[in-house]
Amino acid sequence: MESNKATVAGILDITAGIIGILGGIPLLVMAFGGAAVLGMIPEPEANRLAILPLALFLPLAIFGFLAGVVAIVGGLAALNRRRWGLTVAGAVAAIFGFFPVGIAAVIFTILAEPEFRAARSEID
């Protein structure tokens, strides 16, 4: 009898990945919007500070996008019960996408490991 732990882990990974990608959008807006607003101030000191929002928010936005993509790819691997390592990486990346859902994804991924072994033995 096959359980649904891998399916639940995959859905949680994909959900956290989408939330992570969507969370990166406001960070991207704050990075470029903040730099644009500070760049419009006529004082020279404020112009030097225009790089600050880019330095703070752009790396966070890129990290959110990358973690979201890895979580989605890992979730798809979990739904197909393939590539255990990619599934674990997706679950860990899901923690950065949306913490509570990511923790649940890690737990379900660990519990679903026998399903991956069973799927691997059917292929061989």
Question: What is the full DSSP assignment across 61-80?
Answer: HHHHHHHHHHHHHHHHHHHH
Q: Is residue 123 part of a domain?
A: no
Q: Is residue 81 part of a domain?
A: yes
Whole-number pLDDT of residue 80: 93
46, 123 Cβ separation under 8 angstroms: no
Identify the domain containing residue 85 by its residue range: 9-118
The Cα–Cα gap between 105 and 88 comes to 9
Confidence of residue 30 (pLDDT cuts 50, 70, 90): very high
Q: Is residue 124 part of a domain?
A: no
116, 7 Cβ separation under 8 angstroms: no
Q: DSSP code of 41? A: S
Q: Is residue 72 part of a domain?
A: yes
Ramachandran quadrant class, 92 (left: phi over 0; alpha: psi -120 to 50; beta: rest): alpha
pTM above the 0.85 mark?
A: yes
Q: Is residue 1 part of a domain?
A: no
Confidence of residue 77 (pLDDT cuts 50, 70, 90): very high
The Cα–Cα gap between 93 and 16 comes to 9
| Per-residue pLDDT tens digits for 49-75 | 889 999 999 999 999 999 999 999 999
Q: Is residue 48 part of a domain?
A: yes
Task: Report whether pLDDT(40) > 50.
Answer: yes
The total number of structural domains in the chain stands at 1
| Per-residue pLDDT tens digits for 86-110 | 999 999 999 999 999 999 999 999 9
